[in-house]
Structure 1
Protein backbone atom coordinates (compact mmCIF):
# COMPACT_ATOMS: atom_id res chain seq x y z
CA UNK A 1 0.00 0.00 0.00
CA UNK A 2 2.79 2.44 0.83
CA UNK A 3 4.47 1.71 -2.50
CA UNK A 4 1.22 2.42 -4.34
CA UNK A 5 0.42 5.59 -2.40
CA UNK A 6 3.66 7.27 -1.38
CA UNK A 7 3.85 10.19 0.99
CA UNK A 8 0.85 9.42 3.20
CA UNK A 9 2.28 8.18 6.49
CA UNK A 10 5.11 6.37 8.24
CA UNK A 11 5.15 4.05 11.25
CA UNK A 12 7.36 3.75 14.31
CA UNK A 13 6.71 1.19 17.06
CA UNK A 14 3.16 0.71 15.77
CA UNK A 15 2.46 4.45 15.96
CA UNK A 16 1.18 6.03 12.76
CA UNK A 17 2.55 9.45 11.86
CA UNK A 18 0.81 11.17 8.97
CA UNK A 19 2.81 13.18 6.45
CA UNK A 20 0.91 16.38 5.72
CA UNK A 21 1.32 17.95 2.29
CA UNK A 22 2.30 21.54 3.08
CA UNK A 23 0.56 24.11 0.87
CA UNK A 24 -0.81 21.33 -1.34
CA UNK A 25 2.46 20.07 -2.71
CA UNK A 26 4.50 16.88 -2.54
CA UNK A 27 7.77 18.35 -3.80
CA UNK A 28 9.43 21.56 -2.69
CA UNK A 29 9.75 22.71 -6.30
CA UNK A 30 6.10 21.96 -7.19
CA UNK A 31 3.51 24.75 -7.68
CA UNK A 32 1.83 26.08 -4.56
CA UNK A 33 -1.83 25.32 -3.91
CA UNK A 34 -2.42 22.99 -6.82
CA UNK A 35 -6.04 21.91 -7.34
CA UNK A 36 -4.74 18.83 -9.13
CA UNK A 37 -2.66 17.82 -6.10
CA UNK A 38 -5.62 18.45 -3.81
CA UNK A 39 -7.89 16.25 -5.93
CA UNK A 40 -5.21 13.54 -5.89
CA UNK A 41 -4.92 13.83 -2.11
CA UNK A 42 -8.67 13.51 -1.67
CA UNK A 43 -8.62 10.38 -3.83
CA UNK A 44 -5.75 8.80 -1.87
CA UNK A 45 -6.80 9.85 1.63
CA UNK A 46 -3.90 12.24 2.28
CA UNK A 47 -3.50 14.86 4.97
CA UNK A 48 -3.07 18.28 3.32
CA UNK A 49 -2.81 21.94 4.25
CA UNK A 50 -3.76 25.17 2.56
CA UNK A 51 -3.96 28.83 3.53
CA UNK A 52 -7.17 30.85 3.28
CA UNK A 53 -7.77 34.58 2.87
CA UNK A 54 -11.20 36.15 3.11
CA UNK A 55 -12.70 37.93 0.08
CA UNK A 56 -14.80 41.07 0.02
CA UNK A 57 -18.00 39.02 -0.42
CA UNK A 58 -17.33 36.88 2.68
CA UNK A 59 -16.04 33.85 0.81
CA UNK A 60 -12.42 32.70 0.82
CA UNK A 61 -9.58 32.06 -1.61
CA UNK A 62 -6.60 29.75 -1.21
CA UNK A 63 -3.75 32.24 -0.78
CA UNK A 64 -1.13 32.90 1.87
CA UNK A 65 -0.36 36.59 1.25
CA UNK A 66 -2.67 39.46 2.18
CA UNK A 67 -2.23 41.07 -1.26
CA UNK A 68 -3.12 39.49 -4.59
CA UNK A 69 0.19 40.47 -6.17
CA UNK A 70 2.07 38.21 -3.76
CA UNK A 71 0.97 34.97 -5.42
CA UNK A 72 -1.18 35.94 -8.42
CA UNK A 73 -1.10 38.34 -11.36
CA UNK A 74 -3.69 40.51 -9.60
CA UNK A 75 -3.29 43.66 -7.52
CA UNK A 76 -4.60 44.93 -4.21
CA UNK A 77 -5.70 43.46 -0.88
CA UNK A 78 -7.41 40.09 -1.08
CA UNK A 79 -10.00 41.19 1.48
CA UNK A 80 -11.23 43.91 -0.92
CA UNK A 81 -11.48 41.62 -3.97
CA UNK A 82 -14.72 39.96 -5.02
CA UNK A 83 -15.23 36.60 -6.73
CA UNK A 84 -15.50 38.11 -10.21
CA UNK A 85 -12.12 39.81 -9.71
CA UNK A 86 -10.33 36.70 -8.49
CA UNK A 87 -11.77 34.08 -10.87
CA UNK A 88 -9.85 35.30 -13.99
CA UNK A 89 -6.49 35.58 -12.19
CA UNK A 90 -3.65 33.08 -12.49
CA UNK A 91 -1.21 31.87 -9.88
CA UNK A 92 2.42 32.89 -10.38
CA UNK A 93 3.34 29.36 -9.30
CA UNK A 94 1.88 26.95 -11.85
CA UNK A 95 -0.23 29.34 -13.90
CA UNK A 96 -3.55 27.89 -12.71
CA UNK A 97 -6.56 29.76 -11.40
CA UNK A 98 -6.77 30.48 -7.65
CA UNK A 99 -8.93 28.02 -5.72
CA UNK A 100 -12.08 29.53 -4.18
CA UNK A 101 -13.76 28.12 -1.08
CA UNK A 102 -16.75 27.09 -3.18
CA UNK A 103 -14.38 24.93 -5.24
CA UNK A 104 -13.07 23.36 -2.03
CA UNK A 105 -16.55 22.47 -0.85
CA UNK A 106 -17.30 20.78 -4.17
CA UNK A 107 -14.07 18.76 -4.22
CA UNK A 108 -14.40 17.67 -0.61
CA UNK A 109 -17.65 15.86 -1.37
CA UNK A 110 -15.61 13.19 -3.17
CA UNK A 111 -12.93 12.79 -0.47
CA UNK A 112 -11.55 9.45 0.71
CA UNK A 113 -12.69 8.69 4.31
CA UNK A 114 -9.14 9.23 5.65
CA UNK A 115 -8.53 12.49 3.80
CA UNK A 116 -8.00 15.59 5.92
CA UNK A 117 -7.63 19.18 4.77
CA UNK A 118 -6.28 21.81 7.15
CA UNK A 119 -7.74 25.28 6.63
CA UNK A 120 -5.05 27.62 7.97
CA UNK A 121 -6.90 30.92 8.38
CA UNK A 122 -4.56 33.83 7.68
CA UNK A 123 -7.02 36.60 8.62
CA UNK A 124 -8.29 37.43 12.10
CA UNK A 125 -11.86 37.37 13.37
CA UNK A 126 -12.35 41.10 12.87
CA UNK A 127 -11.40 40.80 9.19
CA UNK A 128 -13.42 37.66 8.52
CA UNK A 129 -16.49 38.91 10.36
CA UNK A 130 -20.01 37.57 10.34
CA UNK A 131 -20.09 37.17 6.56
CA UNK A 132 -17.05 34.87 6.61
CA UNK A 133 -18.36 32.77 9.50
CA UNK A 134 -21.72 32.43 7.73
CA UNK A 135 -19.93 31.35 4.55
CA UNK A 136 -18.04 28.61 6.42
CA UNK A 137 -21.25 27.40 8.03
CA UNK A 138 -23.14 27.40 4.72
CA UNK A 139 -20.52 25.54 2.69
CA UNK A 140 -18.70 23.28 5.16
CA UNK A 141 -21.04 22.28 7.98
CA UNK A 142 -22.01 19.07 6.17
CA UNK A 143 -18.48 18.00 5.18
CA UNK A 144 -16.57 18.98 8.30
CA UNK A 145 -15.32 15.44 8.89
CA UNK A 146 -12.71 16.05 6.18
CA UNK A 147 -11.26 19.26 7.60
CA UNK A 148 -9.56 20.94 10.54
CA UNK A 149 -9.48 24.71 10.99
CA UNK A 150 -6.46 26.47 12.48
CA UNK A 151 -5.33 30.05 12.91
CA UNK A 152 -3.18 32.43 14.91
CA UNK A 153 -6.21 34.35 16.21
CA UNK A 154 -7.58 32.25 19.06
CA UNK A 155 -10.76 34.36 19.15
CA UNK A 156 -11.44 33.24 15.58
CA UNK A 157 -11.00 29.57 16.50
CA UNK A 158 -13.32 30.09 19.46
CA UNK A 159 -15.93 31.71 17.20
CA UNK A 160 -15.68 28.78 14.76
CA UNK A 161 -16.13 26.38 17.68
CA UNK A 162 -19.35 28.17 18.63
CA UNK A 163 -20.61 28.39 15.05
CA UNK A 164 -19.53 24.96 13.80
CA UNK A 165 -18.98 22.81 16.89
CA UNK A 166 -18.45 19.62 14.86
CA UNK A 167 -15.41 21.03 13.05
CA UNK A 168 -12.02 19.96 14.37
CA UNK A 169 -9.83 22.83 15.51
CA UNK A 170 -6.10 23.46 15.73
CA UNK A 171 -3.92 26.07 17.43
CA UNK A 172 -0.32 27.08 16.89
CA UNK A 173 1.30 28.68 19.97
CA UNK A 174 4.83 28.10 18.64
CA UNK A 175 6.07 31.71 18.60
CA UNK A 176 5.04 32.61 22.12
CA UNK A 177 6.22 29.29 23.53
CA UNK A 178 9.63 29.62 21.87
CA UNK A 179 10.02 33.13 23.29
CA UNK A 180 8.94 31.88 26.70
CA UNK A 181 11.34 28.93 26.59
CA UNK A 182 14.26 31.28 25.96
CA UNK A 183 13.23 33.91 28.50
CA UNK A 184 11.56 31.94 31.31
CA UNK A 185 12.38 28.27 30.84
CA UNK A 186 10.43 25.03 30.42
CA UNK A 187 8.18 25.36 33.47
CA UNK A 188 6.66 28.56 32.11
CA UNK A 189 6.15 26.88 28.73
CA UNK A 190 4.38 23.98 30.37
CA UNK A 191 2.02 26.27 32.27
CA UNK A 192 1.21 28.31 29.16
CA UNK A 193 0.56 25.33 26.92
CA UNK A 194 -1.65 23.66 29.51
CA UNK A 195 -3.62 26.90 29.74
CA UNK A 196 -4.11 26.89 25.97
CA UNK A 197 -5.17 23.24 25.94
CA UNK A 198 -7.73 23.88 28.67
CA UNK A 199 -8.86 27.15 27.08
CA UNK A 200 -12.04 28.00 25.16
CA UNK A 201 -10.69 26.97 21.73
CA UNK A 202 -10.74 23.33 22.93
CA UNK A 203 -8.23 22.29 20.22
CA UNK A 204 -8.03 18.84 18.71
CA UNK A 205 -4.52 19.32 17.29
CA UNK A 206 -1.58 21.48 18.35
CA UNK A 207 0.79 22.71 15.65
CA UNK A 208 4.33 23.11 16.99
CA UNK A 209 7.50 23.71 15.00
CA UNK A 210 9.97 20.86 15.11
CA UNK A 211 12.79 23.15 16.39
CA UNK A 212 10.57 24.08 19.36
CA UNK A 213 9.77 20.44 20.08
CA UNK A 214 13.45 19.49 20.07
CA UNK A 215 14.57 22.56 22.05
CA UNK A 216 11.95 21.89 24.73
CA UNK A 217 12.94 18.22 24.82
CA UNK A 218 16.57 19.23 25.31
CA UNK A 219 15.41 21.42 28.21
CA UNK A 220 13.62 18.47 29.80
CA UNK A 221 10.05 19.15 28.60
CA UNK A 222 8.27 16.73 26.27
CA UNK A 223 5.57 18.85 24.63
CA UNK A 224 4.20 15.89 22.68
CA UNK A 225 3.64 13.89 25.86
CA UNK A 226 2.07 16.98 27.46
CA UNK A 227 -0.43 17.30 24.61
CA UNK A 228 -1.13 13.58 24.50
CA UNK A 229 -1.84 13.67 28.22
CA UNK A 230 -4.65 16.11 27.45
CA UNK A 231 -5.98 14.00 24.59
CA UNK A 232 -4.61 16.29 21.87
CA UNK A 233 -2.61 15.33 18.79
CA UNK A 234 0.58 17.09 17.64
CA UNK A 235 1.75 18.27 14.23
CA UNK A 236 5.49 19.00 13.90
CA UNK A 237 6.09 21.61 11.20
CA UNK A 238 7.80 22.00 8.68
CA UNK A 239 10.46 19.32 8.10
CA UNK A 240 12.05 19.24 4.64
CA UNK A 241 14.98 17.15 3.47
CA UNK A 242 17.89 19.11 2.07
CA UNK A 243 18.11 16.49 -0.69
CA UNK A 244 15.14 14.37 -1.76
CA UNK A 245 17.50 12.11 -3.70
CA UNK A 246 20.09 11.51 -0.98
CA UNK A 247 17.65 11.08 1.89
CA UNK A 248 18.48 11.95 5.48
CA UNK A 249 21.82 13.45 6.35
CA UNK A 250 23.08 12.27 9.74
CA UNK A 251 21.99 15.56 11.32
CA UNK A 252 18.54 15.35 9.75
CA UNK A 253 18.21 11.73 10.80
CA UNK A 254 19.01 12.60 14.40
CA UNK A 255 16.32 15.26 14.46
CA UNK A 256 13.69 13.29 12.59
CA UNK A 257 14.18 10.05 14.53
CA UNK A 258 13.83 12.00 17.79
CA UNK A 259 10.51 13.44 16.61
CA UNK A 260 9.32 9.97 15.73
CA UNK A 261 10.44 8.56 19.07
CA UNK A 262 8.48 11.35 20.79
CA UNK A 263 5.37 10.08 19.01
CA UNK A 264 4.32 13.08 16.92
CA UNK A 265 1.04 12.37 15.15
CA UNK A 266 1.77 14.33 12.01
CA UNK A 267 4.74 15.92 10.28
CA UNK A 268 4.24 18.82 7.92
CA UNK A 269 6.52 18.62 4.90
CA UNK A 270 6.87 19.81 1.30
CA UNK A 271 8.62 16.51 0.50
CA UNK A 272 6.22 13.80 1.70
CA UNK A 273 7.09 10.99 -0.77
CA UNK A 274 10.84 11.62 -0.41
CA UNK A 275 10.51 11.69 3.39
CA UNK A 276 8.70 8.35 3.37
CA UNK A 277 11.35 6.82 1.09
CA UNK A 278 14.15 8.16 3.28
CA UNK A 279 12.51 6.76 6.41
CA UNK A 280 12.02 3.33 4.90
CA UNK A 281 15.63 3.30 3.70
CA UNK A 282 16.79 3.72 7.30
CA UNK A 283 14.64 0.94 8.74
Structure 2
Protein backbone atom coordinates (compact mmCIF):
# COMPACT_ATOMS: atom_id res chain seq x y z
CA UNK A 1 0.00 0.00 0.00
CA UNK A 2 1.19 3.52 -0.73
CA UNK A 3 2.16 5.40 2.40
CA UNK A 4 -0.29 8.22 3.25
CA UNK A 5 2.27 10.97 2.92
CA UNK A 6 1.88 12.79 -0.40
CA UNK A 7 0.28 12.94 -3.83
CA UNK A 8 2.29 13.55 -7.00
CA UNK A 9 0.14 15.08 -9.73
CA UNK A 10 1.13 16.83 -12.99
CA UNK A 11 4.69 17.41 -11.85
CA UNK A 12 3.69 18.92 -8.49
CA UNK A 13 3.99 17.29 -5.08
CA UNK A 14 1.27 17.88 -2.48
CA UNK A 15 1.85 16.64 1.05
CA UNK A 16 -0.95 15.07 3.10
CA UNK A 17 -0.82 16.46 6.62
CA UNK A 18 -2.07 14.21 9.42
CA UNK A 19 -4.55 16.54 11.16
CA UNK A 20 -4.45 16.26 14.97
CA UNK A 21 -2.13 13.26 14.51
CA UNK A 22 -4.68 11.12 12.68
CA UNK A 23 -3.63 8.66 10.01
CA UNK A 24 -7.20 7.41 9.56
CA UNK A 25 -10.53 9.09 10.21
CA UNK A 26 -11.34 6.74 13.10
CA UNK A 27 -8.07 7.41 14.94
CA UNK A 28 -8.21 9.21 18.29
CA UNK A 29 -6.36 12.52 18.37
CA UNK A 30 -2.85 13.29 19.66
CA UNK A 31 -1.58 9.79 20.45
CA UNK A 32 2.16 9.34 20.75
CA UNK A 33 1.93 6.16 18.69
CA UNK A 34 0.67 7.97 15.60
CA UNK A 35 3.03 10.93 16.03
CA UNK A 36 6.07 8.65 16.17
CA UNK A 37 4.80 6.67 13.18
CA UNK A 38 4.37 9.83 11.10
CA UNK A 39 7.78 11.23 11.98
CA UNK A 40 9.49 7.95 11.12
CA UNK A 41 7.67 7.71 7.78
CA UNK A 42 8.57 11.28 6.80
CA UNK A 43 5.01 12.59 6.95
CA UNK A 44 3.71 16.04 7.79
CA UNK A 45 1.71 15.93 11.02
CA UNK A 46 -0.06 18.53 13.16
CA UNK A 47 -0.80 18.81 16.87
CA UNK A 48 -2.28 21.71 18.83
CA UNK A 49 -0.94 23.53 21.86
CA UNK A 50 -2.72 25.32 24.70
CA UNK A 51 -1.20 26.80 27.86
CA UNK A 52 -1.58 25.06 31.24
CA UNK A 53 -1.34 26.32 34.83
CA UNK A 54 2.40 25.75 35.17
CA UNK A 55 3.29 28.03 32.25
CA UNK A 56 3.91 25.31 29.72
CA UNK A 57 1.91 23.84 26.83
CA UNK A 58 -0.35 20.81 26.65
CA UNK A 59 -0.90 18.89 23.41
CA UNK A 60 -4.62 19.61 23.16
CA UNK A 61 -6.91 21.58 20.86
CA UNK A 62 -9.55 22.86 23.30
CA UNK A 63 -8.96 25.25 26.16
CA UNK A 64 -11.29 23.11 28.27
CA UNK A 65 -10.74 19.45 29.09
CA UNK A 66 -14.10 17.72 28.84
CA UNK A 67 -14.31 16.90 25.12
CA UNK A 68 -10.80 15.54 24.55
CA UNK A 69 -9.85 14.12 27.95
CA UNK A 70 -11.15 12.53 31.14
CA UNK A 71 -10.60 15.81 32.98
CA UNK A 72 -12.84 18.79 33.65
CA UNK A 73 -12.33 22.55 33.73
CA UNK A 74 -9.94 24.85 31.93
CA UNK A 75 -6.52 23.71 30.76
CA UNK A 76 -5.19 27.07 31.99
CA UNK A 77 -6.22 26.15 35.54
CA UNK A 78 -4.82 22.60 35.44
CA UNK A 79 -1.32 21.68 36.59
CA UNK A 80 1.17 19.75 34.49
CA UNK A 81 1.07 16.84 36.95
CA UNK A 82 -2.71 16.59 36.74
CA UNK A 83 -2.74 16.80 32.96
CA UNK A 84 -0.28 13.91 32.67
CA UNK A 85 -2.70 11.69 34.60
CA UNK A 86 -5.64 12.35 32.27
CA UNK A 87 -6.60 9.96 29.50
CA UNK A 88 -7.52 11.01 25.99
CA UNK A 89 -10.95 10.19 24.57
CA UNK A 90 -11.72 8.52 21.26
CA UNK A 91 -14.09 9.90 18.61
CA UNK A 92 -17.07 8.48 20.51
CA UNK A 93 -16.02 10.16 23.73
CA UNK A 94 -14.76 6.98 25.39
CA UNK A 95 -11.49 7.04 27.38
CA UNK A 96 -8.51 5.29 25.81
CA UNK A 97 -5.20 4.08 27.23
CA UNK A 98 -3.20 7.01 25.82
CA UNK A 99 -2.68 9.92 28.19
CA UNK A 100 -2.41 13.66 27.63
CA UNK A 101 1.09 14.79 26.66
CA UNK A 102 2.80 18.05 27.47
CA UNK A 103 5.01 19.69 24.85
CA UNK A 104 8.17 18.57 26.64
CA UNK A 105 6.84 14.99 26.74
CA UNK A 106 6.24 15.06 23.00
CA UNK A 107 9.70 16.43 22.23
CA UNK A 108 11.33 13.87 24.51
CA UNK A 109 9.38 11.09 22.79
CA UNK A 110 10.60 12.23 19.38
CA UNK A 111 14.18 12.50 20.63
CA UNK A 112 14.12 8.80 21.55
CA UNK A 113 13.57 7.54 17.99
CA UNK A 114 14.78 8.14 14.46
CA UNK A 115 13.05 11.04 12.72
CA UNK A 116 12.89 10.98 8.93
CA UNK A 117 14.61 14.00 7.34
CA UNK A 118 11.41 14.87 5.44
CA UNK A 119 9.16 14.68 8.51
CA UNK A 120 7.54 17.92 9.65
CA UNK A 121 5.75 18.37 12.95
CA UNK A 122 3.39 21.35 12.97
CA UNK A 123 2.73 22.87 16.38
CA UNK A 124 -0.46 24.89 16.05
CA UNK A 125 -0.59 27.41 18.91
CA UNK A 126 -4.22 28.05 19.85
CA UNK A 127 -3.71 31.14 22.02
CA UNK A 128 -2.68 34.74 21.41
CA UNK A 129 0.20 37.03 22.33
CA UNK A 130 -1.50 38.20 25.54
CA UNK A 131 -1.47 34.62 26.86
CA UNK A 132 2.32 34.43 26.74
CA UNK A 133 4.43 34.89 29.83
CA UNK A 134 8.25 34.81 30.01
CA UNK A 135 7.96 31.37 31.62
CA UNK A 136 5.81 30.03 28.76
CA UNK A 137 8.29 31.33 26.18
CA UNK A 138 11.29 29.92 28.04
CA UNK A 139 9.61 26.53 28.52
CA UNK A 140 8.67 26.40 24.83
CA UNK A 141 12.22 27.15 23.73
CA UNK A 142 13.77 24.59 26.05
CA UNK A 143 11.42 21.88 24.77
CA UNK A 144 11.48 22.61 21.04
CA UNK A 145 15.06 23.76 20.39
CA UNK A 146 16.54 20.23 20.12
CA UNK A 147 13.88 19.33 17.52
CA UNK A 148 13.61 22.71 15.76
CA UNK A 149 14.79 21.52 12.35
CA UNK A 150 11.82 19.12 12.14
CA UNK A 151 9.19 21.53 13.48
CA UNK A 152 7.06 24.39 12.15
CA UNK A 153 5.11 26.64 14.55
CA UNK A 154 1.81 28.09 13.35
CA UNK A 155 -1.15 30.08 14.58
CA UNK A 156 -3.56 32.90 13.94
CA UNK A 157 -1.70 35.53 15.98
CA UNK A 158 1.65 36.00 14.28
CA UNK A 159 2.97 38.21 17.07
CA UNK A 160 2.62 35.21 19.39
CA UNK A 161 4.22 32.90 16.85
CA UNK A 162 7.20 35.22 16.31
CA UNK A 163 7.71 35.59 20.06
CA UNK A 164 7.72 31.84 20.67
CA UNK A 165 9.87 31.14 17.61
CA UNK A 166 12.48 33.56 18.92
CA UNK A 167 13.16 31.13 21.77
CA UNK A 168 14.04 28.23 19.43
CA UNK A 169 16.65 29.19 16.80
CA UNK A 170 16.04 27.65 13.40
CA UNK A 171 12.34 27.03 14.03
CA UNK A 172 10.16 27.61 10.96
CA UNK A 173 6.88 29.49 11.22
CA UNK A 174 3.48 29.55 9.55
CA UNK A 175 0.44 31.82 9.64
CA UNK A 176 -3.30 31.17 9.41
CA UNK A 177 -5.28 34.32 8.49
CA UNK A 178 -8.64 32.51 8.38
CA UNK A 179 -11.05 33.18 11.22
CA UNK A 180 -14.75 32.75 11.83
CA UNK A 181 -16.54 34.99 9.35
CA UNK A 182 -13.59 35.34 6.94
CA UNK A 183 -15.27 33.39 4.14
CA UNK A 184 -18.53 35.35 4.37
CA UNK A 185 -16.64 38.66 4.39
CA UNK A 186 -14.59 37.66 1.34
CA UNK A 187 -17.65 36.51 -0.59
CA UNK A 188 -19.28 39.86 0.15
CA UNK A 189 -16.26 41.99 -0.77
CA UNK A 190 -14.65 39.85 -3.44
CA UNK A 191 -11.29 41.18 -2.27
CA UNK A 192 -9.40 37.89 -2.32
CA UNK A 193 -6.15 39.51 -3.60
CA UNK A 194 -6.21 42.02 -0.74
CA UNK A 195 -6.76 39.22 1.76
CA UNK A 196 -3.61 37.46 0.54
CA UNK A 197 -1.59 40.69 0.45
CA UNK A 198 -2.52 41.37 4.06
CA UNK A 199 -1.61 37.83 5.12
CA UNK A 200 1.83 38.04 3.53
CA UNK A 201 2.46 41.45 5.06
CA UNK A 202 1.30 40.37 8.52
CA UNK A 203 3.61 37.35 8.58
CA UNK A 204 6.71 38.29 6.59
CA UNK A 205 8.73 35.41 8.01
CA UNK A 206 6.08 32.70 7.64
CA UNK A 207 7.16 29.80 5.44
CA UNK A 208 3.64 28.36 5.21
CA UNK A 209 0.28 30.11 4.82
CA UNK A 210 -2.64 28.03 6.06
CA UNK A 211 -5.93 28.64 4.22
CA UNK A 212 -9.36 27.11 4.73
CA UNK A 213 -10.05 25.03 1.64
CA UNK A 214 -13.50 26.64 1.36
CA UNK A 215 -11.81 30.03 0.91
CA UNK A 216 -9.39 28.68 -1.70
CA UNK A 217 -12.24 27.16 -3.69
CA UNK A 218 -14.56 30.16 -3.27
CA UNK A 219 -11.79 32.37 -4.65
CA UNK A 220 -11.43 30.07 -7.66
CA UNK A 221 -15.20 30.20 -8.18
CA UNK A 222 -14.81 34.00 -8.29
CA UNK A 223 -12.06 33.68 -10.90
CA UNK A 224 -9.16 34.34 -8.50
CA UNK A 225 -6.22 32.00 -7.90
CA UNK A 226 -5.01 32.82 -4.38
CA UNK A 227 -2.40 30.05 -4.36
CA UNK A 228 -0.17 31.45 -7.12
CA UNK A 229 0.68 34.81 -5.46
CA UNK A 230 1.64 33.09 -2.23
CA UNK A 231 3.95 30.71 -4.03
CA UNK A 232 5.33 33.57 -6.14
CA UNK A 233 6.31 35.22 -2.83
CA UNK A 234 8.37 32.16 -1.95
CA UNK A 235 5.86 30.74 0.54
CA UNK A 236 3.97 27.43 0.61
CA UNK A 237 0.24 26.86 1.00
CA UNK A 238 -1.63 24.41 3.22
CA UNK A 239 -5.36 23.96 2.52
CA UNK A 240 -7.37 22.77 5.52
CA UNK A 241 -9.32 20.54 6.37
CA UNK A 242 -10.61 17.52 4.44
CA UNK A 243 -12.36 15.69 7.28
CA UNK A 244 -13.37 12.51 5.47
CA UNK A 245 -13.24 10.85 2.07
CA UNK A 246 -16.57 11.36 0.29
CA UNK A 247 -17.53 12.02 -3.34
CA UNK A 248 -17.76 15.74 -2.47
CA UNK A 249 -14.39 15.89 -0.72
CA UNK A 250 -12.71 13.95 -3.55
CA UNK A 251 -13.88 16.62 -5.99
CA UNK A 252 -12.57 19.32 -3.63
CA UNK A 253 -9.18 17.60 -3.47
CA UNK A 254 -9.07 17.32 -7.28
CA UNK A 255 -9.54 21.10 -7.49
CA UNK A 256 -6.90 21.74 -4.82
CA UNK A 257 -4.46 19.54 -6.72
CA UNK A 258 -5.16 21.44 -9.95
CA UNK A 259 -4.39 24.66 -8.08
CA UNK A 260 -1.13 23.04 -6.93
CA UNK A 261 -1.46 23.55 -3.21
CA UNK A 262 1.64 22.39 -1.37
CA UNK A 263 -0.16 20.58 1.42
CA UNK A 264 -3.65 19.36 2.28
CA UNK A 265 -4.69 18.95 5.90
CA UNK A 266 -6.87 15.89 6.38
CA UNK A 267 -8.26 13.64 9.09
CA UNK A 268 -7.96 10.69 6.70
CA UNK A 269 -4.60 10.81 4.88
CA UNK A 270 -4.71 7.06 4.41
CA UNK A 271 -8.09 7.26 2.70
CA UNK A 272 -7.00 10.07 0.38
CA UNK A 273 -3.80 8.24 -0.51
CA UNK A 274 -5.82 5.16 -1.44
CA UNK A 275 -7.98 7.24 -3.78
CA UNK A 276 -5.31 9.37 -5.43
CA UNK A 277 -2.25 7.11 -5.41
CA UNK A 278 -3.75 3.97 -6.88
- TM-score (norm: length of structure 2): 0.91
In structure 1, the partner of 2:212 is 209
Is the 8 Å Cα contact of residues 161 and 201 (structure 1) preserved in structure 2? no
Is the 8 Å Cα contact of residues 18 and 45 (structure 2) preserved in structure 1? yes
Farther-moved stretch of structure 1 (10-19 vs 176-185) = 176-185
In structure 2, the partner of 1:58 is 55
Is the 8 Å Cα contact of residues 169 and 204 (structure 1) preserved in structure 2? yes
Is the 8 Å Cα contact of residues 50 and 127 (structure 2) preserved in structure 1? yes
1:148 equivalent to 2:145? Answer no
In structure 1, the partner of 2:106 is 104
In structure 2, the partner of 1:173 is 177
In structure 1, the partner of 2:162 is 158
Unaligned runs of 5+ in 2: 91-95
CA distance in 2, matches of 1:201, 1:157: 12
Farther-moved stretch of structure 1 (34-43 vs 94-103) = 94-103
In structure 2, the partner of 1:11 is 8
In structure 2, the partner of 1:246 is none
Return closer, same or farther for 1:143/1:252 CA change in 2, 3 Å cut-off.
Answer: closer
How far apart are residue 162 of structure 1 and its match?
3.7
1:233 equivalent to 2:230? Answer no
Deviation digits for residues 129-157 of structure 1, max 9, x if unmatched?
A: 22111111112123211111111222202
What secondary structure sits across from 2:66 in the alignment? helix
Is the 8 Å Cα contact of residues 43 and 120 (structure 2) preserved in structure 1? yes
How far apart are residue 195 of structure 1 and its match?
2.5
What secondary structure sits across from 2:239 in the alignment? strand
Unaligned runs of 5+ in 1: 244-248
